[in-house]
Chain A
Amino acid sequence: AQTVTQSQPEMSVQEAETVTLSCTYDTSENNYYLFWYKQPPSRQMILVIRQEAYKQQNATENRFSVNFQKAAKSFSLKISDSQLGDTAMYFCAFMKHSAGSYQLTFGKGTKLSVIP
């Protein structure tokens, strides 16, 4: 079974600054996907970024980037130039890369507050 750990229940960052959210996971799988989802106060889960484990290059989506360390089983999210709209719960999630198995294992989340 896989586990995902987010060790920071809450974080805050000043607007326009950079913040990094931590995520570690435990698995015996070699092929898998990792995701960061954002859940703002509206409670809509929004995909922020995804990473395939076989890719060494870190994924980037505009102001969002990840630091994927496969050997260390670490998958942190960096948010640059933080904006007020980034205030949300952020969930790290793991998915096995296996036909017929598409379940997500979520971490407990990190509540990020962007301060004006």
Chain B
Amino acid sequence: GAVVSQHPSRVICKSGTSVKIECRSLDFQATTMFWYRQFPKQSLMLMATSNEGSKATYEQGVEKDKFLINHASLTLSTLTVTSAHPEDSSFYICSARARVGGTDTQYFGPGTRLTVL
């Protein structure tokens, strides 16, 4: 149980285009999902918290107009990187919160590698 999928796993796009990444909780409902960015050999950096039916909460320094987050259902959150540039190239990971055995836990998707040419 508590499986999270992410699509696409890899994407290459041209500078100036927009890219949408989907995060789905497959066997549970997730009122809260998270989006992270991970640079090589570093830890995960939280970008935003996505709550179903409401606006996402962005971490300091993350441009909300550049990284659009939509959490329209209890099983789907999307991250759209608008007008992508080479510096946006990175590994993006989503997670979904589930309550298992009385404990809140984040379960992670497999990640999306974005390369902007």
Contacts and interface: CB of A to CB of B under 8 A. Distances in A.
Interface of A: 33, 35, 37, 42-47, 50, 52, 91, 95, 97, 102-104, 106-109
B32 A44 contact: no
Interface in B64-113: 91, 93, 95, 97, 103-108, 110-111
B31 to A, nearest CB: 9
Contact of A45 (B49, B95, B103): B95
Interface of B: 32, 34, 38, 42-44, 46, 49, 91, 93, 95, 97, 103-108, 110-111
Contact of B43 (A42, A91, A95): A91
A102 B111 contact: no
A45 B3 CA distance: 11
B43 A45 contact: no
Contacts of A95: 104, 106
A47 B108 CA distance: 8
A52 B105 CA distance: 11
A102 B43 contact: no
B43 A47 contact: no
Contacts of A45: 44, 93, 95, 108, 111
A102 B104 CA distance: 7
Given A44-B110, A45-B95, A108-B42, A103 B34 contact: yes
A103 B49 contact: yes
Nearest to B33: A102
B44 A106 contact: yes
Contacts of B107: 47
Contacts of B111: 43-45
Contacts of A42: 110
Given A45-B95, A91-B43, A106-B43, A33 B108 contact: no
A91 B45 CA distance: 12
Contacts of B104: 33, 95, 97, 102
Contacts of A33: 103-105
